[in-house]
Structure 1
Amino acid sequence: MTDDLPMNPALLPAGLRDLLPPAAEIEARSIEAMMEVFATHGYQRVKPPLVEFEHSLLAGSGAAVSEQTFRLMDPDSQRMLGLRADTTPQVARIANTRLAAAPRPLRLSYAEHCLRVRGSQLAPDRQIAQAGIELIGSDSPGADAEIILTGAEALASLGLTEVSFDLAMPTMAGTLLDGADFKPEHRAALAHALDRKDAAAVSRLGGAIADVLTRLLLAAGEATPALAVLAEVELPPEARALADRLVAVVAAIRARAPALRLTIDPLEFRGLRYHTGPCVTVYALGHQQELGRGGRYVSGEREPATGLTLFPDAILEAARTPPLRPRLYVPAGTDASVAARFRAEGYATVAALGDEKDPPEAEARRLACTHLLTDGAAAPLS
């Protein structure tokens, strides 16, 4: 029976994978390049634990990822633990506990891995690398703009300049539906039609607000014409305030980066359920997978916050491959100071260990070196 066969030790659970050379180094260097950009904008790095007590991990905004969270029993405390499925709730916890007395607005950054119960069709990986920023304690449009502009600069540091930041207001649809007072089953059908961008069904099910919903649904697209439609649609006061906030965020971005590609979908409401205001999804032109996602939420009980999480795995698929560090083979007997000099110049030195059987050039090629130390110089291997 096949069940009796030994399991291949290279076999991993679905959605998990090994990252091998040089991909692992490329990912690490790319993450650090983005983290350096975050640091130059005043975002200070935090490092939450991989595992927390379930009650704190899933409190507040963490409840939105409860279904994606792996759980296990802590043999020490005999309490349930959770493995993080998203880093933002952990950063919010840190901000509201250990950094509760820190001056606001608080700017924090992180680079972590998360583990989720399920992947998606477009992103089947269950272990997800995240590099992100959180701006906590400000409710201004300038804060929303800052995280987008900082994210754009981080992507540009990896050569990704052809990107689109897609803005949405996830509370807009709910606000309009609340005001129309639909019956639960009717509301669910209409929400489903909005989610599927089915304009015909929205027109049929929308009742008194069918025209408003249809116009907003069809307005999705490049920011300037979308905002023009938003300005013309007659909205109730609460919905108008949400539309005005989108206008203010776009204006704040345009003031600093007029060429940045922005699109708007005022009725988009998919994503993490803890978002309470303007949200953003990042795409590279020509690529379907999200490069990042973020938006406004409530940190702790009532503190305003906004953030952006970038996904290095997707980014590296879209970005040009950065140049790898050249590998210099150092034959046996070479003075250590010579190898140190080349490392200072950016080479990775691969030292002979004294038991090689092949000539230095053959050994250098076998070990995937790009250069061979010859007469004190780094000679390229063709």
Structure 2
Amino acid sequence: MATRSRTPANDGDSNAAAGLLPAGLRDVLPPRAEWEAQASERLIASFTAQGYARVKPPLIEFEETLLAGSGQDLAGQMFRVMDPVSQRMMGLRTDITLQVARIAASRMKDAVRPLRLAYAGQVLRVRGTQLRPERQFAQVGVELIGADALAADVEVAVLAAEAVASLGVAGLSLDITQPLLAPAIIAAHGLDPKQAKAARRALDRKDAAELKAAGGAAAPTLLKLLALAGPAKTALEGLKKLKLPDAAAKIVGDLDKLVAEVSAAAPDLLVTLDPGEFRGFEYHTGIAFTLFARNVRGELGRGGRYVTPAGETATGFTLYLDSVMRALPPQAAPAMVYLPFGTPRSTAVKLRKDGHATWAALDQESTDMKKAAKAAGCSHWWDGKTVQPL
């Protein structure tokens, strides 16, 4: 049954365009705000059903705790304010992962490992990106702390994909990379620091010509990494044929096991591999993942293995709710039943129990109930006996 929204479809972008809000910030109006809240709770429900307990860190905390360890990578993205109580600098969080790691190392340091934690909340950054111009957006994710087995990577990657699929997102693909593979090859070929930096820059840009010129003895192997990006099984077949140093060969062996286990656990998930990719995964210490959806611009989320500031091995995955919402199929606004002035409250209660939302007139309205219901943005009206569609 067709329904309509009671409010304009504008989600707040015009406010930013008109200068009412800073660039990258926006109001989210009904019904989108409700849809986002429901999607967030459904994702959390998927995580808690798999044993992940929810935590809720504060939006703002002392700067030094947010910048601990790999938090330095986002130092330039942090809004800072002076705490008038303690006279110490505070920061608005740019990412929730490190807050969860802080909780694990302090408030939950005595909890049994592995520690499974889930979270949902807003983050704020100084600048947006080309793919995500929003400076404030919601993150929903999980952290598996205190486990260094390959099974932890498999669990987190599959959980993220299954949770997003449960919302109705189709055409999911998981892109796997290993940020330590290229450095292991570079180190084994003895490139000096300047050469190594140039080779990494060329890989970052995926510039084959620059890589050939700057990669020295490692160039032939590194060029093959660029060429092997694609379906995971095909990429792995190519990697196994390369003459790799021992450290790199072990990394490829772990990738092979991961792909096999992920594919067995989620056979409908398209798994790809980019063996030369490390951009954006600088602080990761093992296998990393990015989740995409067919026909949707940008990533839905990313994660992988890292070491917490307390020295614990962890694997996590963060979903970006704005991107997830863009990947969802079109949704209809909820049916809203217009109740004329004077309708008994018991009627409204019954209708809501039957699954209807109600919009009650608070003053005497026109006798043309259909016209009044349409003006209120409702999709149905109550004729005194039954619910009637407009």
Q: Could you list the per-position Cα deviations for residues 182-203 of structure 1 after superposition, in whole angstroms to 9, with x for gaps in the alignment?
A: 2333222211211121223323
Aligned AA (1:155) = V
Is the contact between residue 288 and residue 304 of structure 2 (CA under 8 Å) also seen in structure 1?
yes
Is the contact between residue 143 and residue 316 of structure 2 (CA under 8 Å) also seen in structure 1?
yes
- Selected match of 1:53 from 39, 57, 62: 62
State the partner residue of 1:377: 386
Aligned AA (1:286) = N
State the partner residue of 1:4: none
- Selected match of 1:127 from 129, 136, 145: 136
State the partner residue of 1:156: 165
Separation (CA, whole Å) in 2 of partners of 1:163 and 1:282: 7
Structure 1 residue 8 displacement after superposition:
10
Query: 301-310 or 352-361: which moved more?
Result: 352-361
State the partner residue of 2:356: 347
- Selected match of 1:282 from 287, 291, 303: 291
Q: Could you list the per-position Cα deviations for residues 314-335 of structure 1 after superposition, in whole angstroms to 9, with x for gaps in the alignment?
A: 1111211333321111122222
Aligned AA (2:354) = E
Query: 285-294 or 219-228: which moved more?
Result: 285-294
Structure 1 residue 272 displacement after superposition:
4.4
Structure 1 residue 258 displacement after superposition:
2.2
Query: 25-34 or 106-115: which moved more?
Result: 25-34
Structure 1 residue 233 displacement after superposition:
1.3
State the partner residue of 1:194: 203
Structure 1 residue 276 displacement after superposition:
1.2
State the partner residue of 2:150: 141
Q: Could you list the per-position Cα deviations for residues 91-135 of structure 1 after superposition, in whole angstroms to 9, with x for gaps in the alignment?
A: 111111111111111111111110001111111110021111111
Q: Could you list the per-position Cα deviations for residues 124-148 of structure 1 after superposition, in whole angstroms to 9, with x for gaps in the alignment?
A: 1100211111111111221111112
Q: Could you list the per-position Cα deviations for residues 151-174 of structure 1 after superposition, in whole angstroms to 9, with x for gaps in the alignment?
A: 111111221120111000112222
State the partner residue of 2:193: 184
- Selected match of 1:338 from 337, 342, 347: 347
- Selected match of 2:88 from 73, 79, 88: 79
Could you say what secondary structure the match of 2:285 adopts? strand
Is the contact between residue 165 and residue 172 of structure 2 (CA under 8 Å) also seen in structure 1?
no
Separation (CA, whole Å) in 1 of partners of 2:212 and 2:115: 44
Is the contact between residue 191 and residue 216 of structure 2 (CA under 8 Å) also seen in structure 1?
no
Could you say what secondary structure the match of 1:354 adopts? coil
Separation (CA, whole Å) in 2 of partners of 1:196 and 1:213: 13
Separation (CA, whole Å) in 2 of partners of 1:103 and 1:336: 51
**Alignment gaps of 5+ in structure 1:** 1-6
- Selected match of 2:20 from 4, 8, 11: 11
**Alignment gaps of 5+ in structure 2:** 1-15
TM-score normalized by structure 2?
0.92
State the partner residue of 1:22: 31
Aligned AA (1:279) = A
State the partner residue of 2:321: 312
Separation (CA, whole Å) in 2 of partners of 1:329 and 1:287: 37
* 1:324-335 pair list within 5 angstroms: 324-335=333-344
Structure 1 residue 308 displacement after superposition:
0.8
Is the contact between residue 326 and residue 346 of structure 1 (CA under 8 Å) also seen in structure 2?
no
Separation (CA, whole Å) in 1 of partners of 2:213 and 2:236: 25
Aligned AA (2:348) = A
Is the contact between residue 152 and residue 315 of structure 2 (CA under 8 Å) also seen in structure 1?
yes
Separation (CA, whole Å) in 1 of partners of 2:50 and 2:190: 45
Query: 85-94 or 185-194: which moved more?
Result: 185-194
Change (3 A) 1:284 1:241: same
Is the contact between residue 96 and residue 123 of structure 2 (CA under 8 Å) also seen in structure 1?
yes
Is the contact between residue 281 and residue 288 of structure 2 (CA under 8 Å) also seen in structure 1?
no
State the partner residue of 1:252: 261
The answer on 1:112 being equivalent to 2:121 is yes
Separation (CA, whole Å) in 2 of partners of 1:282 and 1:150: 11
Query: Percent identity of the aligned residues?
Result: 47
Separation (CA, whole Å) in 2 of partners of 1:250 and 1:138: 19
TM-score normalized by structure 1?
0.93
Is the contact between residue 59 and residue 93 of structure 2 (CA under 8 Å) also seen in structure 1?
yes
Aligned AA (1:71) = R
State the partner residue of 2:247: 238
The answer on 1:296 being equivalent to 2:305 is yes
Change (3 A) 1:78 1:17: same
State the partner residue of 1:218: 227
Aligned AA (1:194) = L
Aligned residues: 375
Is the contact between residue 158 and residue 320 of structure 1 (CA under 8 Å) also seen in structure 2?
no
Separation (CA, whole Å) in 2 of partners of 1:181 and 1:172: 15
Aligned AA (1:285) = R
Change (3 A) 1:154 1:322: farther
